[in-house]
Amino acid sequence: MRQKFNKHATDAFFEKHQVLMKPTPLELSGDIILEIGSGKGEFITQYALDHPHTTCIAVEMNRHVCYYIALKKETLHLNNLIIIMDDAALLNQYLSKHTINTIYLHFSDPWPKAKHHKRRLTYPSKLDLYGELLKKEGQLIFKTDHQKLYIESSFYIQSKFKDIVFDDDSEEEIYMTEYERKKRPFGPIYKIQAGVYDDTL
Ligand SMILES: C[S@@+](CC[C@H](N)C(=O)[O-])C[C@H]1O[C@@H](n2cnc3c(N)ncnc32)[C@H](O)[C@@H]1O
């Protein structure tokens, strides 16, 4: 996401808004959803507002964008929203194994060059991490407007998960991200819903 430098996105701001900036083991129970690469947080904050008994976790490593999630959390008084401003690769230093019900990846960066594919949030090494974090019956949901990322992610996800549903032209749902709102008028939104992580695959 291209984002202008935001002079207000200081460590002091994030500390004041209880945004986690370094690995902190969290003791969580109950229903928990995790959105990785939350951008400005439109999806996760609306979801959290409507599901006060669900713990919602936003992960966004770009501070200039993460700032807006913290503002929304404050404005909407979201006590059930945890914000992690860090690289998703470190999530096992924040979250316990098999605690998450659903992981959402929305409009993840496509990283088109082969030498950068490892940075993709759907890359197999990331999927292994998600498998560790998800409850046994947990699910992974991925949406994108980028056809090549969709196709390549389909192969990655098939190599690690079972019970997968592919949708080449997904319907609009209640909660949308900033990207989905912008991209939906211009073409299909691809969606993958994956049921069970299987470390024997
Ligand atoms: C293209 S934007 C999409 C934002 C939002 N999900 C949406 O749909 O509007 C992708 C976001 O993922 C974040 N991101 C990419 N890799 C990440 C990582 N490894 N850990 C945390 N955030 C990441 C980027 O900083 C960026 O804000």
Query: What's the pLDDT tens digit per position in 7-44?
Result: 999 999 999 999 999 999 999 999 999 999 999 999 99
The DSSP bridge partners found for residue 196 are: 162
pLDDT digits (tens, 9 = 90+) for 96-144: 999 999 999 999 999 999 999 999 999 999 999 999 999 999 999 999 9
* pLDDT computed for residue 101 by the predictor: 98
19: left (phi over 0), alpha (psi -120 to 50) or beta: beta
Report the nearest-CA residue for atom 14 of ligand 1. 37
Which secondary-structure segment (H or E) carries 57?
Answer: strand 55-59
Compute the Cα dihedral for 153, 155, 158, 161 and give only its sign: negative
Q: Which residues of 75-113 are buried (b: 16+ CB within 10 A; e: fewer)?
A: eeebebbbbbbbebeebeebbeeebbbbbbbbbbebbee
Residue 152's identity, in one-letter code, is E
Residue 118 φ/ψ, nearest 5 degrees? -60, -20
* pLDDT computed for residue 122 by the predictor: 98
| Superfamily (CATH) of domain 11-197 | Vaccinia Virus protein VP39 (3.40.50.150)
Predicted model pTM: 0.97
Instruction: Judge whether residue 145 has pLDDT over 80.
Output: yes
The minimum-distance atom of ligand 1 relative to the CA of 182 is 9
Instruction: Judge whether residue 1 has pLDDT over 80.
Output: no
Residue whose pair of structure tokens reads 């990283």 in the numeric block: 111
**Distance of alpha carbon 185 from alpha carbon 7, whole angstroms:** 33
**Distance of alpha carbon 103 from alpha carbon 57, whole angstroms:** 9
**Distance of alpha carbon 90 from alpha carbon 97, whole angstroms:** 13
Q: Where are the domains of the chain?
A: 11-197
Which secondary-structure segment (H or E) carries 163?
Answer: strand 161-167
**Count of all residues that appear for the chain in the document:** 201
pLDDT digits (tens, 9 = 90+) for 168-181: 999 999 999 999 99
- List 31, 50, 87, 109, catalytic entry: 109
- Which residues does ligand 1 sit against, CB inside 6 Å? 1, 36-39, 59-62, 65, 87-89, 106-109, 121, 177-180
pLDDT digits (tens, 9 = 90+) for 42-77: 999 999 999 999 999 999 999 999 999 999 999 999
Q: State which of 35, 121, 130, 142 you would mutate to test the pocket of ligand 1, scoring each by most atoms of that ligand within 8 A of its C-beta.
A: 121
Q: Quick check: is 109 catalytic?
A: yes
Report the nearest-CA residue for atom 11 of ligand 1. 37
Determine the 3-state secondary structure of 2 from DSSP: coil
* pLDDT computed for residue 2 by the predictor: 59
